């Protein structure tokens, strides 16, 4: 809408007659503009409503309301790469990145401010105990048993297909997303764009993941503005990064579409991930020892002193998912706890409904 310049009203050298003439001229222009442009409406939609926008107006909108990446040179170079290397439409990608948001909290999480305070007199012990307490809870164990029961056929099929012990398939999903409760709420395009172009430590890695994300959305016919996940770009119940999605996710329910937010596809994909990284079914993962005994021993800091564990090749397979001894041990111990509770429930069902109360104890 045409607006009168407010500085006109502040001009002290314009006399009253000039002011009246100027006002009449301005009013005439306003009325003429409104009469000649039927697209101007006063009944604009509420900001929270969803309005379909024709494709041909996308570039006009991007110019009128530029996002933080609309005129970014690194983004333009990335778009050029995607056009030349993978045949994407330049106008499509320009429109897409004009809608991407820079997320300050993602920048802070990836590049936290260095700590300049005093160093503690003694290193804080018990890191493993505190980490373990996040995942070895009654809620995780009981929900793991319920998840296994609700997806029994799929888990059995995945275990048989890929040669992976079922309790570890369940435990990974439990540790990663609490069986689908915490898949993340950050839009993946925003997270990866921010990490690729506004951080430095792992910018190359996240640029590659952004590339894989766009290829993934094209291959699976996803709207790239829709997927959400972690602040680092991990997606679905198993929290796959886009590169892992493209190489290891499977269409386990045979619907022609890989969907890691679907329980069936997530279960099959986690099992496939383990299989491709060398999992050995029914083989040991870790067993506790009294002291350090070579390279196959790890030390975990517990509240009441260090724990020493002899780890086997399957433990290292879990670390392919997340390269942390504490993470792999949490998955291992949660898997064993869920398996034990699962077997207890199965036995109780065979012995009668009254004995199910043992589960509550």
- Rounded CA gap, 297 and 319, in Å? 15
Residue 113 annotated as catalytic: no
112: burial class by Cβ within 10 Å (0-12, 13-18, 19+)?
exposed
User: Which whole number is the average pLDDT over 140-145?
Assistant: 98
Contact predicate 76/66, CB 8 Å: no
- Rounded CA gap, 232 and 255, in Å? 28
β-pairing verdict for 297-302 and 305-311: antiparallel
Nearest partner of 103 among 177, 197, 184, judged by Cα: 197
- Rounded CA gap, 153 and 163, in Å? 15
Confidence category of residue 122, pLDDT binned at 50, 70, 90:
low
User: Which whole number is the average pLDDT over 150-158?
Assistant: 98
Contact predicate 258/265, CB 8 Å: yes
CA atoms within 13 A on the CB side of 263: 15
Per residue in 214-252, pLDDT (tens digit) is 999 999 999 999 999 999 999 999 999 999 999 999 999
- Rounded CA gap, 99 and 193, in Å? 11
pLDDT at 2: 33
Confidence category of residue 65, pLDDT binned at 50, 70, 90:
low
Q: Can you give the three-state secondary structure of 133-148, one letter per residue?
A: HHHCCHHHHHHHHHHH
- Rounded CA gap, 23 and 17, in Å? 10
Confidence category of residue 53, pLDDT binned at 50, 70, 90:
very low
Per-residue tokens: 276: 């491709």
Q: Where are the beta strands (DSSP E) in the chain?
A: 186-187, 228-229, 286-289, 297-302, 305-311
CA atoms within 13 A on the CB side of 328: 24
pLDDT at 43: 30
Residue 310: phi and psi, rounded to 5, are: -85, 120
32-36, 206-210, 347-351, 357-361: least confident range: 32-36
pLDDT at 47: 30
Per residue in 336-349, pLDDT (tens digit) is 999 999 999 888 88
pLDDT at 124: 72
Identify which of 118-122, 174-178, 288-292 has the greatest average pLDDT.
Answer: 174-178
Per-residue tokens: 250: 């499977």
**DSSP-assigned letter for residue 240:** B
The three-state secondary structure class of 300 is strand
State the virtual CA torsion across 204, 209, 211, 217 in degrees, nearest 10. Answer: -170
> How much is the pTM?
0.78
Per residue in 18-48, pLDDT (tens digit) is 444 444 444 343 434 433 333 322 233 333 3
Higher pLDDT pick, 125 / 21: 125
Q: Is residue 167 over pLDDT 50?
A: yes
**DSSP-assigned letter for residue 3:** -
pLDDT at 240: 98
Per residue in 251-273, pLDDT (tens digit) is 999 999 999 999 999 999 999 99
pLDDT at 111: 92
The three-state secondary structure class of 64 is helix
Beta bridge partner(s), residue 311: 286
Of 176, 209, 211, 299, which one is the catalytic site residue? 176
18-22, 116-120, 176-180, 254-258: least confident range: 18-22
């Amino acid at each position: 809408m045409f607006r009168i310049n407010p500085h006109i009203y502040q001009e002290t050298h314009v006399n009253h007659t000039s002011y009246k003439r100027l006002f009449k001229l301005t009013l005439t222009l306003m009325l003429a503009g409104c009469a000649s442009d039927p697209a101007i409406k006063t009944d604009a939609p509420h900001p929270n409503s969803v309005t379909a926008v024709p494709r041909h107006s996308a570039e006009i909108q991007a110019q009128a309301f530029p996002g933080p990446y609309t005129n970014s040179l690194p983004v333009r170079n990335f778009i050029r790469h995607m056009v030349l290397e993978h045949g994407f439409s330049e106008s499509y990608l320009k429109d897409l990145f004009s809608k991407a948001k820079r997320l300050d909290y993602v920048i802070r999480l990836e590049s936290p401010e260095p700590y300049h305070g005093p160093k503690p007199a003694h290193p804080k012990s018990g890191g493993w105990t505190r980490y373990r307490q996040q995942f070895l809870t009654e809620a995780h164990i009981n929900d793991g048993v319920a998840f296994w029961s609700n997806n029994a056929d799929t888990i059995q099929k995945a275990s048989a297909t890929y040669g992976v012990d079922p309790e570890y398939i369940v435990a990974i999903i439990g540790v990663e997303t609490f069986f689908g409760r915490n898949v993340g709420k950050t839009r993946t395009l925003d997270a990866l764009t921010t990490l690729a172009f506004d951080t430095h430590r792992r910018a190359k890695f996240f640029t590659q993941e952004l590339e894989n994300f766009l290829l993934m959305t094209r291959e699976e016919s996803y709207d790239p503005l829709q997927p959400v996940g972690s602040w680092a770009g991990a997606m679905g119940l198993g929290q796959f990064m886009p590169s892992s999605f493209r190489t290891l996710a499977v269409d386990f329910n045979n619907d022609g579409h890989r969907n890691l937010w679907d329980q069936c596809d997530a279960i099959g994909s986690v099992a496939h991930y383990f299989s491709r990284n060398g999992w050995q079914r029914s083989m040991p993962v870790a067993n506790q020892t009294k002291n350090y005994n070579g390279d196959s021993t790890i030390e975990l800091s517990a509240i009441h002193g260090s724990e020493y564990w002899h780890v086997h090749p399957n433990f290292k397979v879990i670390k392919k998912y997340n390269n942390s001894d504490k993470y792999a041990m949490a998955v291992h111990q949660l898997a064993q706890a869920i398996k034990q509770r699962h077997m207890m429930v199965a036995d109780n069902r065979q012995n009668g409904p009254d004995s199910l109360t043992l589960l509550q104890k």
